Amino acid sequence: MHLDRFRDHPSLAFADWSLRGVGQVVFQNNSLSGLVILAALAWNSWIYAAICILGVISSTATALFLRADRGMIRDGLYGFNGALVGLALIAFTSEDFRTGAVPSLAMAVYLICAAAFTTMAFASMGAVLAPHRVAPLTMPFVLVGWLFLFAVLKFDAIDAGPMAKPISPEQFSETVPFVLSTWYEGIGTSIGQIFFQDNWISGYIILLAIALNSRICAAMGLMGAIVGTVVAAVYGGPEGAVRDGLFGYNSALTAMALGGVFLVLTWRSVLYAVFGAAVASWLWASVAIFLKPIGMPVLTSTFVLVTWLMLLGQGAFKALVPVSPPEPEAPEENRTGKLGGEKLQ
């Protein structure tokens, strides 16, 4: 919040909006959070940090060129899908998923266009969802990511390595036992995988970045990662996928969205978020198995699916207190604003 003075700074404003765009991946409208997240990426691989910046700049600049609503640009809302698309295109076309690879010129142009396209997809999905007071979340990233990833595998001008990353639970051994490090690495990497970082320390740094802006969000994100990981373990998910954070990243995002960002935090919405995190973990496995024959990763599709299915009908459930207007602010403010009276139980 103390960084608001850069928002209208003549030369630094664009950097401020872009950093907020990085933060908005995890619902944080805060440029310091964005900066710490970039540091977490750089800790794992400077390539990913650079690509994240390239993606967020492309989609934010496109929004400026098309003269989109300035308030939304300043909040970083046109940036986060571009950042994610950039990361995904590098992650799934590099020989080493963990560090990524510097893209060719053709790939860089492709990536910049994909990130720009998320801006149009974001505006379109926003327009369709507006009457239902639900946000597009990361659906522009998921859809554009899938569409642009497929073609890459067959275009001559882009050298895509074989997909190095297992994308489905079937690809992991079922006999590896769970040990202590499975848990603390799996939970941390769950947060890291939101940004495609196979690095549990980066994950905990990202959690710290979230806490800088909202401790409720950080707590819900951690809770979601734990629920997703535990549910997967109880239901026999393979150790390697659990340790890789694959069962947990959709759950972490779902828990943040339902537990404070789009629903006011009450004990019922916490239960709702726990339920959503469990469902997101099961459905990660489902969607992964569905997509594997065509070689596509799940991305954050189950987070979007579960959150939409649990939010679009929120008006029908009097037990839930919707955040209104539905722009994500820190859950702390949502709580203060809404729970003044009879709506709270």
Q: Is 112 in the site for a second copy (CB under 8 A)?
A: no
Selected range binding a second copy among 18-26, 31-39, 116-124, 182-190, rule: CB under 8 A: 116-124
Query: What gap in Å lies between CA 277 and CA 255, rounded to an integer?
Result: 6
Alpha helices of 66-93 — where are they, by DSSP H? 70-74, 80-91
Query: What gap in Å lies between CA 249 and CA 197, rounded to an integer?
Result: 11
Q: Is 282 in the site for a second copy (CB under 8 A)?
A: yes
Least gap, CB of 8 to a second copy (angstroms) = 19
| Residue 263: φ, ψ to 5° | -120, 135
* Type of residue found at 72: M
From 289, 326, 329, 332, residue interacting with a second copy (rule: CB under 8 A): 289
Q: Is 286 in the site for a second copy (CB under 8 A)?
A: yes
Selected range binding a second copy among 9-17, 39-47, 90-98, 315-323, rule: CB under 8 A: 315-323
Query: What gap in Å lies between CA 205 and CA 36, rounded to an integer?
Result: 7
Selected range binding a second copy among 150-158, 191-199, 218-226, 334-342, rule: CB under 8 A: 150-158
From 263, 279, 299, 323, residue interacting with a second copy (rule: CB under 8 A): 279
Task: Kindly compute the dihedral angle of the four CA atoms of residues 240, 241, 242, 247, in this order, to the nearest 10 degrees.
Answer: 180
Q: Is 147 in the site for a second copy (CB under 8 A)?
A: yes
From 313, 324, 333, 343, residue interacting with a second copy (rule: CB under 8 A): 313
* Type of residue found at 42: A
- Kindly report the number of other CB atoms within 10 A of residue 318's CB atom: 9
Least gap, CB of 315 to a second copy (angstroms) = 6
- Which residues does residue 263 pair with via DSSP β-bridges, in sequence order? 322
Least gap, CB of 109 to a second copy (angstroms) = 9
For a second copy, the binding residues in 72-111 under the rule CB under 8 A are 106, 110
Cβ 56 vs Cβ 119: under 8 Å: no
- Which residues does residue 322 pair with via DSSP β-bridges, in sequence order? 263
Query: What gap in Å lies between CA 175 and CA 168, rounded to an integer?
Result: 16
From 84, 226, 252, 310, residue interacting with a second copy (rule: CB under 8 A): 310
From 157, 164, 176, 344, residue interacting with a second copy (rule: CB under 8 A): 157
Q: Is 176 in the site for a second copy (CB under 8 A)?
A: no
What contacts 127, CB < 8 A, 6 or more positions away? none
Q: Is 325 in the site for a second copy (CB under 8 A)?
A: no
Q: Which two tokens stand for residue 177?
A: 């036992």
Among left, alpha and beta (phi > 0; psi -120 to 50; other), residue 137 is left
Q: Is 131 in the site for a second copy (CB under 8 A)?
A: yes
Q: Is 36 in the site for a second copy (CB under 8 A)?
A: no
Query: What gap in Å lies between CA 7 and CA 14, rounded to an integer?
Result: 8
Q: Which two tokens stand for residue 296?
A: 């596509």
From 1, 10, 67, 180, residue interacting with a second copy (rule: CB under 8 A): 67
For a second copy, the binding residues in 209-238 under the rule CB under 8 A are 234-237
Give me the residues that bind a second copy (CB under 8 A), please.
Answer: 65-69, 106, 110, 113, 116-117, 120-128, 131-132, 143, 146-151, 153-158, 169-170, 174, 234-237, 275, 278-279, 282-283, 285-287, 289-290, 293-294, 305, 308-320
